[in-house]
Structure 1
Amino acid sequence: MISQKAKYALRALVVLARADAEKALFISDIAEEQNIPKKFLEQILLDLKHQGIVMSRRGKMGGYLLLKPAEDITFGEVLRLIDGPIAPLPCLSKIAYRRCEDCQSEETCEIRHVFNEVANVTRGVLDKTTIADCLVYGEDGKVAEMLDS
């Protein structure tokens, strides 16, 4: 399961991708549109800014914009930045591998083999699905519903 923070991050990125590429959006507008607590969204956007996904502008025309094109931002990338590894078992993590404490042999572990298939399929979908792809699903304004399912 992904965290609420990751869901909010994805929803905010979809809103920014849907907006005019040159027009910065205020945190308050994104928060209101997506029903995200403003203070929480501030933290999320700051994290995404530090990771080079969004940028902020100050002043009258200030707010947040995508720094990377929406077609270059994958769900997998965002989930890893916000939630960490995408792996059902620590021994399957690509970025935070840890041997399971109770495992006698990774090569013969039946549980690991099954969840390795699950992880590979999941990563495949998340690493090829971009924020731009999400816009197709969200054209009817149902971004939040798509991300909640």
Structure 2
Amino acid sequence: MKFSTKSRYALRLMAELARYAPGTTVSLKEISERQQLSLKYLEQIVTPLARVGLVKSERGSQGGYRLTKAPADYTAGEILRAIEGSVAPIPCLGSETNECPMSDQCFTLPFWAGLDDVINQYIDSVTLEQLAQSLPAVKEGCGCCGTKS
């Protein structure tokens, strides 16, 4: 499984939101500047996250996006699945039931199923809070993004 750029950026976007107090909205423009990511690309990424209820948008002058629950209550896995859908290493493991006509005869299926289990256990063990703790602190007058903490 090779994760897309959207998945990598979704984790960065969510980690940025996690650095703020609960209920605080943050503009995508601010996240774009801080993470040096395209604003247009972030707009594409935030849509599926909002669709599944991981973030909520607020309109108006103080608008932006905010998390819908505490960072410790998110896993990297749920964020990645919101963007990618299944993270299974092979297509026949990507749905609830394996509909591959060769699954009964596939001697490599246990290997792929084991890899799928390891991937899912790992991504579901890492919380957004843990990811956000790895973010570098923003210093007063930070030269990299022009924001103030």
1:106-121 equivalent positions in 2, closer than 5 A: 106-121=103-118
- Whole-Å Cα distance in 1 between the matches of residues 76 and 118 of structure 2? 14
CA change 1:85–1:95 in 2 (3 A) is: farther
TM-score, normalised via structure 2 length:
0.81
Q: Which amino acid aligns with 1:125?
A: Y
Contact 2:10 2:79 (8 Å CA) reproduced: yes
Higher helix proportion, which one? Answer: 1
Distance 1:98 1:68 in 2: 35
Gap change, CA 1:35 and 1:96, over 3 Å in 2:
farther
The residue number in structure 2 matching 1:12 is 13
Structure 2 CA distance for partners of 1:18 and 1:81, relative to 1, 3 Å: same
Q: Which residue of 2 aligns with 1:62?
A: 63
CA-atom RMSD, angstroms? 2.0
Kept after mapping to 1: 8 A contact 2:22/2:70 = no
Shift of 1:128: 2.1
Helix, strand or coil at the partner of 1:65: strand
Instruction: Confirm or deny that 1:38 pairs with 2:39.
Output: yes
* TM-score for both structures, normalised by structure 1: 0.81
How far, CA to CA, are the matches of 2:29 and 2:80 in structure 1? 23
Unaligned 5+ runs, structure 2: 139-149
Deviation at 1:108, TM superposition (A): 4.7
Q: Report what 1:147 is aligned to.
A: none
Unmatched runs of 5 consecutive residues or more in structure 1: 142-149
User: How many percent identity over aligned positions?
Assistant: 33
Is contact 2:71–2:128 with CA below 8 Å preserved after alignment?
yes
The AA in structure 2 aligned to 1:24 is: T
Aligned-partner Cα distance in 2 for 1:50–1:81: 9
Matched residue SS, 1:56? strand
